[in-house]
Structure 1
Amino acid sequence: MYYPFGFYFDPTIILLIPAILFATYAQTKVKTTFNKYLRVGSRTGYTGAQVARMILDRNDLHDVRIEHISGKLTDHYDPRTKVLRLSSPVYNGTSLASQGVAAHEVGHAIQHANGYFPLVVRNSIAPVASFSARFVWILIIAGLFMPYIRIFGFGLLELGIVLYLAVVLFQVITLPVEFNASSRALAQLEGYVVSRDEIPAVKKVLDAAALTYVAATLVAVAQLMRLLVISGRRD
């Protein structure tokens, strides 16, 4: 639908609005919850790095190194190098939030060691998803402006949508990986590092973090639906 002064309104953007609103809520939720429990010290007084090392050693993962990384909520496990990277608030922190996030990342290391199938699948498609994420929008935008270009019988827009499927698949398979890592974290913490009455606080931190992955998946799926509608409308 065209408006005066050259403005153009694409009605398919409506498909994205609910997912974007939920993503905004999820980001706010994880930040506020993490900051709240970052101020709640654990009874044991262990730092996130100490907790991570204890759980790793407890699971015979002595070859996994722990490194400090800059930023906040940048914590992650790198399966390629078997390195667990923890941000300053987690690495040095003694709060329930610090211990929970550290244990969650160790959960990924345990998944890797045990050959957890969803993680194997995610790691397998990660290079394709990363490649697709870099080039998908170039193809889609080019396809919108140059619909006459065909490659192997497909338009650039259609090729872009095929690439975007890898991104969506990566987001979808990430959900069970993250939920399982949190479950492993709680099991490793309860009665060993964190007392039973402290577990609900840790669970709130991990649940809030999980919302961000749910939001990312919803945005990806909504965007795919939008692209399919646009492609069908052009046909």
Structure 2
Amino acid sequence: MLGIYFIGILFMLISMGVSARLKSKFKKYSQTPLSSGLSGREVAEMMLHDNGITDVKVMSVAGRLTDHYNPADKTVNLSEYVYEARSAAAAAVAAHECGHAVQHARAYSFLKFRSAMVPALSIASRYMQWIILIGILMIQTTPVPLAIGVALFGLTTLFSFVTLPVEFDASKRALAWIDRRGIVTTQEHDMAKDALKWAALTYVVAALGSLATLLYYVSLLMGRRD
């Protein structure tokens, strides 16, 4: 069990470092006023309009870095600060979340796949850790519980990796649009790109951490079978 604790601590530290860097970048880029003077809400509404999307609402939600697109009710949810702010960071986040709305409207394959996984993932997440714990405790008796737990954990790992192209593509769409629309200057584009890069790294670290943990559980299972 020491192996899993080491992996967990390692990726927790990496995740904390990336998260701290992300917050630092957003704080820095939020202090530079956007030359176009547009708020996050205005950027989002413009991007939706330019892509012919009329059935998605732009909403304000509490918190910081709580921005997300909800395909269930078709809402772009911007954190209170991003919603009102007029900075490169706010423009980047708003356009990125609208990038997900565009993916939804265009039936982007990876987004469809990820959405289809959500019901099964919610069930897997609820019982997975208990099944894995039982499997480890019973590993000398039977490998079945651990095998089931590994399969469920594999589903969550797959979800983490499917999320990556979804996030990268949304950022690509966002950056291309804010350039084409003249929302940002060259310097502001670099700020927006850097902010989105660090946001994407949080997903990369989460996916790699999940894979490392999955491989550890697989090694336990294969060791039992040996």
What range is the shorter-chain TM-score in?
over 0.9
Count of paired positions = 224
CA shift for structure 1 position 35: 1.1
**Counterpart for residue 126 of structure 2:** 134
**Counterpart for residue 6 of structure 1:** none
**Equivalent residues of 2:7, 2:209 under 8 A apart:** no
1:196-211 superposed matches below 5 A: 196-211=186-201
Equivalent residue for 1:92, pick from 84, 89, 92 = 84
Secondary structure, aligned partner of 2:69: strand
CA RMSD of aligned residues (A): 1.7
Letter of the aligned partner of 2:112 in structure 1? Answer: V
Structure 2 CA distance, aligned partners of 1:31 and 1:138? Answer: 33
TM-score by length of 1: 0.89
**Counterpart for residue 157 of structure 1:** 146
**Counterpart for residue 175 of structure 1:** 164
Structure 2 CA distance, aligned partners of 1:75 and 1:15? Answer: 29
Bigger drift between 167-176 and 196-205 goes to 196-205
Structure 2 CA distance, aligned partners of 1:143 and 1:124? Answer: 28
**Counterpart for residue 3 of structure 1:** none
CA shift for structure 1 position 15: 4.2
1:1-235 superposed matches below 5 A: 10-147=2-139, 155-192=144-181, 193-235=183-225
Structure 1 CA distance, aligned partners of 2:23 and 2:145? Answer: 39
**Equivalent residues of 2:47, 2:95 under 8 A apart:** yes
Letter of the aligned partner of 2:160 in structure 1? Answer: Q
Unaligned runs of 5+ in 2: none
**Equivalent residues of 2:146, 2:221 under 8 A apart:** yes
Q: % of aligned pairs identical?
A: 36
Q: Deviation per CA, 1:122-172: give whole Å up to 9, x if none.
A: 11112212221221101011122234786xxx6211101101111011001
TM-score by length of 2: 0.93
Q: Deviation per CA, 1:41-68: give whole Å up to 9, x if none.
A: 1011111011100110111111101111
Structure 2 CA distance, aligned partners of 1:69 and 1:124? Answer: 25
**Counterpart for residue 4 of structure 1:** none
